[in-house]
Amino acid sequence: MATEMQAQQVAQIGRRQRIRWTKIAVNWELYLLALLPVAWIIIFRYIPMYGAQIAFRRFVAGAGIWGSQWVGFANFMRFFRSYNFGNVMWNTLSLSFYQLLAGFPIPIILAIFIHYCPNTAFKKTVQMVTYAPHFISVVVIVGIIFKLLATRTGIVNIAISNLGFEEVNFLGSFRAFPHVYVWTGIWQNMGYGTIIYLAALSGVDPELHDSAKADGAHILQRIWHIDIPGIAPTVIILLILRTGYLLEIGFEKVLLMQNGLNIRTAEVINTYVYKIGLASSNPSFSYAAAIGLFKSVVSFILIVAVNRISRRVSETSLW
């Protein structure tokens, strides 16, 4: 009996493997297609990865990567032990989460409204106008922000004081900084963010909408039951990807907005790395590399975790 079962199992495995190989053989064209892109990524992205070891060395440009002294985790410890490590991490994470919570849903909502706008001319104009600010350089955007939010001369404060309230020092308050940073970012980028959702919305089968309408569903029901599930995979994937960029927040924009009064909440990892580069009279590639590697590892853990949750909760996942 036992040997019969074993023989059956072996036969099953053999069959499964044969089916597997058949599947692969049948789809040989797909493999051929994927070959070139895979080759590209190996050459241009994987080969240079040996350079990540800079983080474990004390890099001196003249000595090259291999010639630089090995220091193990010293660069990482330098970061973890640095005086404002806690402050920098906290600022980065809280600013990032704030930006995610506030900024992620808005392009989706906006995309839905644009998508359902009955007047085509207006719809296209709004799309065009909201898409444009994304391209304004960060220097000019910060200049505009300063101009609008200034005390005394900024129109926002002029309006506030005309209404009888006290002027708000938007730019010189560490409490206000996260709000100003996040909301001006939303203001600038929400239009560009709608693009992918508009594309996803246009992929939803209109016949579903027609039959829903025939059943008497009103628009909100239709959006909720047809569109949202239709774009759900896109939304989820983008959300997963976003978590991978949590530590990458800000650099030039934060740097331009920093001053003595708000530095408390305005120092993030990337500005910290920049300043160390300025301060150090020899370019600390190793230190920057170590911090970069640390960011990568944390991001990786976050993405894997969120991906796993997503796979369990919905069917969508990255891999």
Nearest distance, CB of residue 9 and another protein, angstroms: 22
Residue that the structure tokens 């949202």 belong to:
228
- Segment near another protein (CB under 8 A); pick from 9-17, 97-105, 156-164, 311-319: 311-319
Q: Is 17 in the site for another protein (CB under 8 A)?
A: no
177-202 helix and 105-115 helix, angle to the nearest 10 degrees? 40
Q: Is 20 in the site for another protein (CB under 8 A)?
A: yes
Among 7, 11, 136, 313, the residue binding another protein under the rule CB under 8 A is 136
Q: Of residues 271-300, which lie at the interface with another protein (CB under 8 A)?
A: 271-272, 275-276, 278-285, 287, 289, 292-293, 296, 299-300
Is residue 226 helix, strand or coil? Answer: helix
- Segment near another protein (CB under 8 A); pick from 2-10, 91-99, 119-127, 157-165: 119-127
Taking residue 224's Cβ as centre, other Cβ atoms within 10 Å add up to 11
CB nearer to another protein: pick between 99 and 127: 127
CB 246 within 8 A of CB 302: yes
Measured distance CA(300)–CA(305) in Å, rounded? 8
Q: Is 16 in the site for another protein (CB under 8 A)?
A: no
Among 7, 11, 30, 313, the residue binding another protein under the rule CB under 8 A is 30
CB nearer to another protein: pick between 21 and 97: 21
Among 1, 4, 70, 118, the residue binding another protein under the rule CB under 8 A is 118
The partner residues of 57 in beta bridges, in order of sequence, read 70
Q: Is 70 in the site for another protein (CB under 8 A)?
A: no
Taking residue 274's Cβ as centre, other Cβ atoms within 10 Å add up to 16
Q: Is 314 in the site for another protein (CB under 8 A)?
A: no
Q: Is 38 in the site for another protein (CB under 8 A)?
A: yes
- Segment near another protein (CB under 8 A); pick from 4-12, 90-98, 158-166, 190-198: 190-198
Taking residue 243's Cβ as centre, other Cβ atoms within 10 Å add up to 18
Q: Is 114 in the site for another protein (CB under 8 A)?
A: yes
Q: Is 129 in the site for another protein (CB under 8 A)?
A: yes
CB 164 within 8 A of CB 103: no
**Using CA of residue 146, residue 149, residue 155, residue 158, what is the dihedral sign?**
negative
Half-sphere exposure of 283 (CA within 13 A, CB side): 6
Q: Site for another protein (CB under 8 A): how many residues?
A: 143
Among 182, 201, 246, 268, the residue binding another protein under the rule CB under 8 A is 201
Q: Of residues 222-261, which lie at the interface with another protein (CB under 8 A)?
A: 230-231, 233-234, 237-238, 241, 244, 255-256, 258-261
Q: Is 156 in the site for another protein (CB under 8 A)?
A: no
Nearest distance, CB of residue 23 and another protein, angstroms: 6
Among 6, 9, 27, 314, the residue binding another protein under the rule CB under 8 A is 27
Amino acid letter, residue 120: T
Measured distance CA(291)–CA(9) in Å, rounded? 51
Q: What dihedral angle (degrees, nearest 10) is formed by the CA atoms of 98, 268, 182, 180?
A: 120
CB nearer to another protein: pick between 99 and 285: 285
- 98's tokens: 């704030």
Q: Is 69 in the site for another protein (CB under 8 A)?
A: no
H or E element at residue 284:
none
CB 236 within 8 A of CB 316: yes
Measured distance CA(100)–CA(108) in Å, rounded? 13
